[in-house]
Structure 1
Amino acid sequence: MLKGEKRREVYLTALVLLALYLSLGETLIPKPFPWMKLGLANIATIIALEKFDSKMAIEVLLLRILIQGLMLGTMFTPSFIISLLSGGASTLLMIFLYRYRQKLSLIAICVMGAFTHNICQLIIVYFLLFRNISIYSKSIFMFIWGFLFMGCISGVITGYIGEKLRLRRGATK
């Protein structure tokens, strides 16, 4: 194995472990709903994107979700499917937006990723679990807007942490 490939594998392993630890640590943070998370595990994906490349960001995301599914026994359950699809969609959007990194802050990219993640979650949850329920009530709309707002706040938090790490390739700050 080449020295560069081995180094990349070490970093990939470290980022996946970081994502798993952050995800585990997040369970200790009080939240309004048991399934709601801040998305701190996304910091590892952001580091991979910021310091390495989009391929590593996707690998970190997929390995974290697969390993977490195996560890928690949730493989191929609705929560696994929701995590995989919404995490994939938000990561792909962040990779696309990262092309405009000179004009967009990491906070803006993370907010858009978090918003996309939550929109996908809501759509997938509706089709997997609640498609027979009318969603046209005031309380459901208030919940949706609150959920999306909280997602944007978590995007600000993860983006801010990513900015403070100053891992940008070629940055002279």
Structure 2
Amino acid sequence: MPSPSERLNLAALPDGGDARIARLTALAVSLHIIESALPPLLPGLKPGLANIVVIVALGRYGFAAAAWVSLLRVLVSALLLGTLFSPTFWLSLSGALGSLLVLFPAQYLPGRGFGPVGFSLLAALANIGAQFVTAYLVFIQHPGVFWLLPPLLAAALFFGIGNGLIAHWILTRLESAPQP
């Protein structure tokens, strides 16, 4: 059984964990960039399609892979879009960290715990919650911002379930696909 430090060292995996992380990150970054070109439904509100890749990474390869994909997606996307250290970057990073903070303990729940839809829903709600707290504490310290919370949480609920269903469909297809 690998030690905790060996489990976090994806490059040491015999199946090329680092290459897998790079491919998944490239897919997540591509989805993020495509999504950034679309007009938002509400200011700052996007469906979070890149999070589908994070949920697939979590379901297929574990938390360490999901964390690497999520955090690298934020960094690489910010570099490519020119938003590094901008408010957009800090909101994206806080959302990713919030999601990871709820996904880590959720994976250890007894029994079956959560599936892709449950993980996606938890991550989406944590993402919007962390972004909202960051926006309020760092950027907009005005009580009127609380009027945005109900529609943002409703959108997180909708997109979290939708993205989770897509991740579930992908994971089901990957499990039934023949291994090379």
Fold-level similarity (TM above 0.5): yes
2:169 to 146, 150, 164: 164
Query: Larger deviation: 98-107 or 147-156?
Result: 98-107
| Rounded Cα–Cα distance in structure 2 between residues aligned with 1:79 and 1:29 | 15
1:127 to 115, 124, 137: 137
**Aligned twin of 1:4:** 14
- Aligned-residue offset at 1:14: 0.8
The aligned amino acid for 1:164 is W
1:5-44 equivalent positions in 2, closer than 5 A: 7-44=16-53
| Rounded Cα–Cα distance in structure 1 between residues aligned with 2:115 and 2:62 | 17
**Aligned twin of 1:155:** 160
| Rounded Cα–Cα distance in structure 1 between residues aligned with 2:98 and 2:148 | 22
Q: Which runs of 4+ in 1 moved over 4 A?
A: 167-171
Identity of aligned residues (%): 25
The aligned amino acid for 1:113 is A
| Rounded Cα–Cα distance in structure 2 between residues aligned with 1:126 and 1:141 | 9
- Aligned-residue offset at 1:85: 1.7
The gaps in structure 1 that reach 5 residues or longer are none
Do residues 89 (structure 1) and 98 (structure 2) align?
yes
| Rounded Cα–Cα distance in structure 2 between residues aligned with 1:126 and 1:19 | 27
The verdict on how the C-alpha distance between 1:169 and 1:28 changes in structure 2, with shifts beyond 3 A counting, is: closer
**Aligned twin of 1:109:** 119
Contact kept? 2:99, 2:124, Cα under 8 Å: yes
- Aligned-residue offset at 1:59: 0.8
Contact kept? 2:95, 2:130, Cα under 8 Å: yes
TM-score, length of structure 1 as denominator length: 0.84
| Rounded Cα–Cα distance in structure 2 between residues aligned with 1:117 and 1:53 | 19
The aligned amino acid for 1:111 is L
The aligned amino acid for 2:117 is I
The gaps in structure 2 that reach 5 residues or longer are 1-10
